[in-house]
Homo-oligomer: A and B are copies of this chain.
């Protein structure tokens, strides 16, 4: 087991009581911790995923980390009541199977049952963006909105449609692929094979590619945002193109979902007002007979997936307080 990078969010006054062991497994790192039934994280850790070791080794790490957290909780006088794990890709939440995840290397891994066998705790497997979405909708920037679209814009783009605190999973565990909606039929080809996907035009990776293409020098999305704010013409143009594509995508999503609040998270959202202000203006132009949703930055940062994994476990195994808060 890799060395934990300890980082405690809040111990509060908890000296006893129930906690959920929660893990958000990404391609690079595992964010994990102990979360109370009211949604407060009382302990947080980070571990590297080291996906290159192969799926069996990653599963071992996940189970070791979960066992370590369970032991730590008990040693501290807390009672671990359930385990929640969030993973990226296609997740069959009903069967608890990580169906397909390119960046973690999973293919049909029955992670829930493996966790139950190892830990002897009831366990729930969820999707990382949908977990982040329910956390933002219940505990973060979408709190009180009822109908929320959580959009994560990073290397890729994905979303979760959350109504009354629950995310739509889809018939095959694949709902929310906001990065793969059509916005530019004549645009660049997406990694998925189709031309014109939103992700191929407006992800952080796409912004970097486009800048390199037009400026002839490299630039990350964060650098492009900064240079655009400073008035550099190529950066202004690249940023504007991304914002307009995102606004087109959000207008399409709003036509279908009619949410009250759009919560924008992920790496690109760290541009803050440099993204949200022009995006809000561009979305306003596109909303005709529809109601314009409130457009806000995510509030939970990269803890959202871990908190959401805990909420999913609480929903499935007896937690009620955070669910009630959402209504």
List residues of A whose CB falls within 8 A of some B CB: 90, 100, 145-147, 159, 161, 163, 168-178, 180-186, 192-194, 248, 251-253, 255-260, 286, 288-291, 293
Contacts and interface: CB of A to CB of B under 8 A. Distances in A.
B146 A177 contact: no
B291 A255 contact: no
A-B pairs, top 4 by smallest CB distance, nearest first, are A170-B258, A171-B260, A147-B171, A175-B258
A289 B192 contact: yes
A174 B172 CA distance: 26
A176 B257 CA distance: 6
Interface centre among A146, A159, A181, A256 (most CB of B within 10 A): A256
A185 B159 CA distance: 22
Nearest to A249: B182
Contacts of A161: 256
By secondary structure, the A interface counts as loop
A253 B175 CA distance: 10
B168 A251 contact: no
Contacts of A248: 182, 185
A163 B174 contact: no
Contacts of A291: 171-172, 174
A187 B256 CA distance: 20
A186 B289 CA distance: 21
Contacts of A163: 168
A258 B172 contact: yes
A327 to B, nearest CB: 13
A192 to B, nearest CB: 4
B192 A288 contact: yes
A227 to B, nearest CB: 26
A164 to B, nearest CB: 11
Contacts of A252: 181-182, 252
Nearest to A290: B174
6 contacts: A145-B171, A161-B256, A163-B168, A180-B255, A194-B251, A256-B256
A59 B13 CA distance: 60
A243 B186 CA distance: 18
Contact of A147 (B170, B186, B251): B170
A176 B256 contact: yes
A154 to B, nearest CB: 17
Contacts of A256: 159, 161, 175-178, 181, 253, 256-257
A226 to B, nearest CB: 28
Interface centre among A146, A170, A251, A260 (most CB of B within 10 A): A170
